[in-house]
Structure 1
Amino acid sequence: MSANKFHRARAILSGLLLGGLAVGQVSADGDRSRAAGAPLLPLYKQECAACHMAYPPQFLQAASWQRLMQGLPQHFGSDASLDPATVKALSTWLTANAGTGKRAAENPPQDRITRSAWFVRKHDEVSAASWKLPAVKSAANCAACHTQADSKGIFNEHDVRIPR
């Protein structure tokens, strides 16, 4: 079994074991355009998506999620502190569903998804001016261009619409 097939099978099995199956689409280069894995935890959507997109946990390794959850009082310039029970529940879910494939092959600088090698490679054609558009504001605003990111967790490049 190839490494790619092994990682896909592992992601599918993990999704089943954790209570849900999300079937991923695969782009021509073999990269998943949908973050395959367990459906987003309602508590995660409630707490994290209140301020930003609820990023799929597969976008970072477990070690990055652990550091992010430990650093919530200084979460990228904001105090995102949560009560200990919520931190424990979210940390457990994030690390159980963390990435292990190409997207999470490394811990990006400052544990920022937008600074990971795969993110930079996938967005290399996006101009600096596009990131600064009022409707985009920053690379962290995935839903500004990925029209199905928030609603379906799909990041397929064929569904990208860069605001003008």
Structure 2
Amino acid sequence: MPAMIRPLLLGLAALGISALLYSRAQAGGDHYFPPVKHAQTLAECGSCHLAFPASMLPAASWEKMMANLDQHFGDDASLDPQTTAAITRYLVDNAGDRGGRSYGRKLLRGVAADEAPQRITTLPKWVKEHREVPKSDWKKKDVGSKANCAACHKEAEQGYFEED
């Protein structure tokens, strides 16, 4: 193989792989949200449930949630002040109306700027996307609740929430 063809083939292969990865994110479209990469958020939030992508809620929601960890959906999820501050900063900086705007705006349609919803499952877009799921599915033992995204979306931890 001539010396000039090899770099060209490698370049084309790299371009193909990049296109595949890009199309994967695009394929998720309205269903892709950058997953949590922040170590403290993954460790603390992910120890009890899926560490929900920050872009799924507006900043005001994360601020309110993190300020009330002693009453976190019926549990006391309190953390030390430094950890709470670091996680809050990460979530707010990447919220759907801040740094994660390009992803979050699709899920936050219909949410007023002054609202601070506490449940992703109450967002108008989420409700619309899940309207055809039978109520009995939410009660299945392996699902347990509407917040258990990974029960139906096998790649939720990677940020993909399209139908499986």
TM-score class, shorter-chain normalisation, is 0.7 to 0.9
- Normalising by structure 2, we get a TM-score of 0.74
Counterpart check, 1:84 vs 2:86? no
Q: Offset at 1:32?
A: 2.2
Question: CA contact under 8 A between 1:136 and 1:144: conserved in structure 2?
Answer: yes
How many residue pairs get matched? 131
Alignment partner, residue 10 of structure 1: none
Q: Distance in 2 between matches of 1:141 and 1:88?
A: 26
1:102 match: 106
1:9-88 correspondence to structure 2 within 5 Å: 24-26=25-27, 31-36=29-34, 39-88=36-85
Structure 1 gap ranges (5+): 1-22, 160-164
Which of these two proteins has the greater Rg computed from alpha carbons? 2
Percent identity, aligned pairs only? 41
CA distance in 2, matches of 1:39, 1:75: 19
CA contact (8 A) 1:25 1:33 kept: no
Higher helix fraction: Structure 1 or Structure 2? 2
Give the structure, 1 or 2, with the largest relative contact order (CA under 8 Å, sep 6 or more).
Answer: 2
CA distance in 2, matches of 1:32, 1:93: 22
Distance, in Å, in 2 between the alignment partners of 1:114 and 1:121 is 10
Choose the corresponding residue for 2:135, options 105, 124, 128. Answer: 128
- Segments of 5+ residues of structure 2 without an aligned counterpart are 1-23, 98-104
Q: Structure 1 stretches (4+) deviating beyond 3 angstroms?
A: 107-110
- Distance between the aligned counterparts of 1:59 and 1:26, measured in 2? 18
Aligned-partner residue type, residue 32 of structure 1: D
